Structure 1
């Protein structure tokens, strides 16, 4: 019996110690100290106690952040009034405090939404956290921009990333953003995506760019980056199939976008999915028979299969809609290959002369071969028509 009393006494003492640990967290005035105390007793706390403890951490971080923000506001007022004596601001300390506050707020919100010791769900902190933190997030961008100007990309990524992560956090999922719209999110997410890419963190890069894609103002630039990321990731067939699914998702949301369409159609061809490629092209042409890009991609697919007559017909139709150096070069290539299948030079000559006209036009449109490699094809055409000593042939031989 004596042993049982001793065990009971130990349990009471232990419970008292856990309670004391929570009280220590709630009484603490130092963030690092409170955080350490919380970690030591977290597993022993109930959901509502965990919510209270994390809320305390948020309060301590906000004390630091709001103190620095008040100095910034005071300095701005002094400047407006033409007075001197600007006070020093711990910008990085403020930003770190805000980042910690957002992370701890997510934990507080998570436990606040769970049943308490009595089995009831009665959130106490959700709205308060939203109202306190949402308007302060912009300071992460301001400090991050300062870091970027100092070429401290690691810090810029950390702070921009915290800003983006908080925007898509469950904490703010039901927050009425119409009263305080986040007009910076798309651009900040785009920059964060680029920084993550430069830091070779492809998962983060894609995550942030996906956020940027949802913003109308940043969509175009974000889309270019997204497609570049997707294409760079295609190192194996498995990678390419995964990338294909992403392109299909992009096309489902923006089927009018020519760049997405072209990449999707080309990728179908690269992966040998000829039926899907044909279906995609036919549907687009059924909707608009004069779709330049669809005709160009269809012609390219036919050219790759050595279907010269079909390719030539589609390239000519595309060229009649819009003259493009790449299409003209592909057209010249297809005509030359058709000519190569003929028995005599007399039969080949009309086709070669036709090719010459198309390739010379490609040269005119793209003299530096930035879009199309027309030079060798035109040299070969001159060589076959006029011989190696012709001035035009010699010029391109150099």
Structure 2
């Protein structure tokens, strides 16, 4: 047993000596600004051994090796010498992570439970000068559509506010770029299809007045990806409330409420939108759709005619009006005890439907499934033999193909 302990002692002595040699070599390289990447790799390899996980000298040397790389790159960029911009920003990120790791070891309690960081104040002051480059790097990667790196740098920029290392800097209370950085994490998280990442700083992103509308747009889609329908609709309603003329929020609310047959809610949105812009053709068209679905056919026609006075090149408006008159005729046929008594009114509805439906056909010749059945009924009721035969032939071809 005595020989075993002696063997272990010898092995530990050799290991410690080799470790000290690696640290010494790395520090020498850092001082001479040579082999900096090798110095970094050497320290990272030492940290892979669990025995070294709390050796503050290794963490300090690693942080210094990375910061030396950053300073060399920064100087080259300042002097407009050739340097890889991507590598520069990635090195900035590595530097902050390295110093934060150092600080976590530096802040471990001593044997008496006291926490007295030795390096924190000096390192916080040093890093504060370069923190802006995390944000700049995030923007650089956004422009390159490298959303993975963009998120990484923006996240690191914002995370500084949570790090004990930077407590003295008070980033939480005094950072004009934080809400912008938060917005870009929303964008990057969305582009990466990582909803939880996108939502990490979403409240901060919404505090930015310049980006708030766009943030709400991204967030609504993010909740849709997550399958959180309640938050999706809540976000759309908030976006619509603040941006009543925005097509984005309006159209998605229309799609949802109409799809769920919640026509009263859809109409409430439309009426609110029209208060802000009573002549908006899109809003009026949406109202005509809701009225048609509600069975308020005469009101639908009135709205359609209002639209056509403003814009007569909107084919679906002709269709809505034509279908409304057609449905008025059909409903009257179904509910009238004596069809002969109201035949004049019924025929009048078919006659009124005709020009709208024919105009729709003219504008959308390929939409046969929509106009052919309607015109078939109209021509039949109005005893328009030649036109009826044409529609009958078209419908036979449609059904034959199906």
Both structures adopt the same fold (TM-score exceeding 0.5) = yes
**Within the alignment, does 1:25 sit opposite 2:23 as a pair?**
yes
Task: Give distance in 2, aligned partners of 1:193 and 1:316.
Answer: 29
Q: How far apart are 1:158 and its partner, in Å?
A: 0.9
Q: How far apart are 1:7 and its partner, in Å?
A: 1.3
Task: Give distance in 1, aligned partners of 2:166 and 2:213.
Answer: 25
Report if aligned partners of 1:46, 1:117 keep a CA contact under 8 Å in 2: no
Within 5 Å, give how 1:221-370 maps onto structure 2: 221-231=214-224, 233=225, 239-240=226-227, 242-245=228-231, 257=242, 304=261, 318=272, 321-322=275-276, 323=278, 325=281, 328-329=284-285, 331-333=287-289, 335-336=291-292, 352-363=297-308
Report if aligned partners of 1:57, 1:101 keep a CA contact under 8 Å in 2: no
Give 2:74's match in structure 1, choosing from 54, 65, 69. 69
Q: How far apart are 1:205 and its partner, in Å?
A: 3.6
Aligned counterpart, 1:138 = 132
Within 5 Å, give how 1:196-235 maps onto structure 2: 196-207=189-200, 211-231=204-224, 233=225
Task: Give distance in 2, aligned partners of 1:391 and 1:252.
Answer: 38
Q: How far apart are 1:22 and its partner, in Å?
A: 5.3
Report if aligned partners of 2:63, 2:98 keep a CA contact under 8 Å in 1: yes
Aligned counterpart, 2:324 = 381
Seen in structure 2, the aligned counterparts of structure 1 residues 18 and 187 have a Cα distance that, compared at 3 Å, is: same
Report if aligned partners of 1:193, 1:206 keep a CA contact under 8 Å in 2: yes
Aligned counterpart, 1:45 = 52
- CA displacement 1:338-393 (0-9 Å, x = unmatched): 65xxxxxxxxxxx6443311222345567776xx9644322213545352784333
Seen in structure 2, the aligned counterparts of structure 1 residues 319 and 254 have a Cα distance that, compared at 3 Å, is: closer
- CA displacement 1:253-280 (0-9 Å, x = unmatched): 99964789x98xx99x97xxxxxxxxxx
Residue aligned with 2:221, SS:
helix
Residue aligned with 2:116, SS:
coil
Aligned counterpart, 2:88 = 94
Residue aligned with 2:74, SS:
helix
Report if aligned partners of 1:312, 1:335 keep a CA contact under 8 Å in 2: no
- CA displacement 1:278-313 (0-9 Å, x = unmatched): xxxxxxxxxxxxxxxxxxx7xx79x9368xxx7899
Residue aligned with 2:169, SS:
coil
Seen in structure 2, the aligned counterparts of structure 1 residues 116 and 252 have a Cα distance that, compared at 3 Å, is: farther
User: Which of structures 1 and 2 has the bigger CA Rg?
Assistant: 2
Task: Give distance in 1, aligned partners of 2:197 and 2:150.
Answer: 13
Report if aligned partners of 1:46, 1:116 keep a CA contact under 8 Å in 2: no
What's the C-alpha RMSD, in Å, of the aligned pairs? Answer: 4.6
Q: How far apart are 1:60 and its partner, in Å?
A: 1.3
Report if aligned partners of 1:212, 1:218 keep a CA contact under 8 Å in 2: yes
Task: Give distance in 1, aligned partners of 2:7 and 2:294.
Answer: 97
Report if aligned partners of 1:190, 1:212 keep a CA contact under 8 Å in 2: yes
Count of aligned pairs: 324
Aligned counterpart, 1:167 = 158
Seen in structure 2, the aligned counterparts of structure 1 residues 316 and 246 have a Cα distance that, compared at 3 Å, is: closer
Report if aligned partners of 2:216, 2:239 keep a CA contact under 8 Å in 1: no
Higher RCO (CA-CA < 8 Å; seq separation 6+): 1
Task: Give distance in 2, aligned partners of 1:165 and 1:14.
Answer: 38
Report if aligned partners of 1:190, 1:218 keep a CA contact under 8 Å in 2: yes
Aligned counterpart, 2:12 = 14
